[in-house]
Structure 1
């Protein structure tokens, strides 16, 4: 039996966040940590920041961060997280429905971690805007799920999902020669089911540098 989707992305994500006091772990995404830890801090844009774990972690390293999400509830939690960590002055949070509005300015790092949604999202268009927002010498980091966890069958999930390949995203970005690919990799990690059944899940990683 299919489950009807809410009428729009704001409603969907607000219901998601309001359904629990905390949706995510509060820890930064592991592939962000792996790919970004060695970079010199500058200005960063965190697209789909959720409850703010990545934004706050970047701020703790000295980045000046703009975190963006569609959910007011998520942004309230993110701002609280930043304040609790004593980093509120280094992080600004903005509400955007990506694909409709986008933050102004250019950034030394633009991070899009798991920017995958079962409701309306122009993923290719948003990623192109993300690339355009990278300053010369800056970094675009994109991480997406490459498929379902090994313990889950596709029919078990009530919503459609798209899992772009490494080459799909490069083709959609259509970047000029002034960009250099630093990481293009599929990473498999442990991903147990909610009831503890062992499994793994693959994620795709794109890290690209705008050389000029």
Structure 2
């Protein structure tokens, strides 16, 4: 979907994916040390970035939709937190080197396999040695369930795909499971999920 397409999807008062944080992210909140900094990739309307800021993190949230970022700014104000927002096209965004303690990517499955490879490479580059990448998304079975996400199986994640993509990182956790999720109108119902938490080696140059 183009940036204009996302703008149209996010337009209106309602938050497409709700205002509450993603269940996986909330469950893993204990992994975040207050005072650290985090990059929230394709953070949309801000539900996850605002939650991370509430944990005492310095949040840099990027997204391709200006409409989503406006709603994210409002949600942050209403929640009494501050987050840094940046309009960014991830297909050509300049990923920084070793800048963040954490990189968080929740349901970023708009990318085709080639785009996904670039995203994963950028995320790994952006996290500091010793830092964590937290990734949450759908498995291919999600297409049959039809309760959220794009209809393309090739956009989904498998265990082997993630193990290969993050082979240079320490795999802290990798889980496949089905669960009922209710995150606005965008993600609603039984879902085929997969989570990855991976640590960049502390000695990585």
TM-score by length of 1: 0.81
Q: Which runs of 5+ in 2 are unaligned?
A: none
Corresponding residue to 1:110 among 92, 103, 107:
103
| Shift, 1:151, TM fit | 4.6
The equivalent of 1:37 in structure 2 is 30
The equivalent of 1:3 in structure 2 is none
Corresponding residue to 2:57 among 56, 63, 67:
63
Task: Verify the 8 A CA contact 1:124 1:173 in the aligned structure 2.
Answer: no
The question of 1:76 aligning with 2:70 is answered: yes
The question of 1:144 aligning with 2:137 is answered: yes
Corresponding residue to 1:129 among 122, 128, 132:
122
| Shift, 1:21, TM fit | 3.1
Task: Verify the 8 A CA contact 1:96 1:102 in the aligned structure 2.
Answer: no
The equivalent of 2:92 in structure 1 is 100
Q: Which runs of 5+ in 1 are unaligned?
A: 1-7
| Shift, 1:99, TM fit | 2.1
Task: Verify the 8 A CA contact 2:131 2:200 in the aligned structure 1.
Answer: yes
The count of aligned residue pairs is 194
Shift of the 83–99 alpha-carbon distance from structure 1 to 2, 3 Å rule, reads same
SS at the partner of 1:37?
Answer: helix
The question of 1:160 aligning with 2:171 is answered: no
Task: Verify the 8 A CA contact 2:174 2:195 in the aligned structure 1.
Answer: yes
The RMSD of aligned alpha carbons is 2.8
Corresponding residue to 1:210 among 185, 200, 205:
200
SS at the partner of 2:174?
Answer: strand
The question of 1:28 aligning with 2:21 is answered: yes
The within-5 A match list for 1:12-23 is 12-18=5-11, 21-23=14-16
SS at the partner of 1:168?
Answer: helix
Question: Separation in 2 of the partners of 1:60 and 1:53?
Answer: 11
| Shift, 1:164, TM fit | 2.0
SS at the partner of 2:89?
Answer: coil
Question: Separation in 1 of the partners of 2:87 and 2:198?
Answer: 26
Task: Verify the 8 A CA contact 2:37 2:101 in the aligned structure 1.
Answer: yes
The equivalent of 2:48 in structure 1 is 54
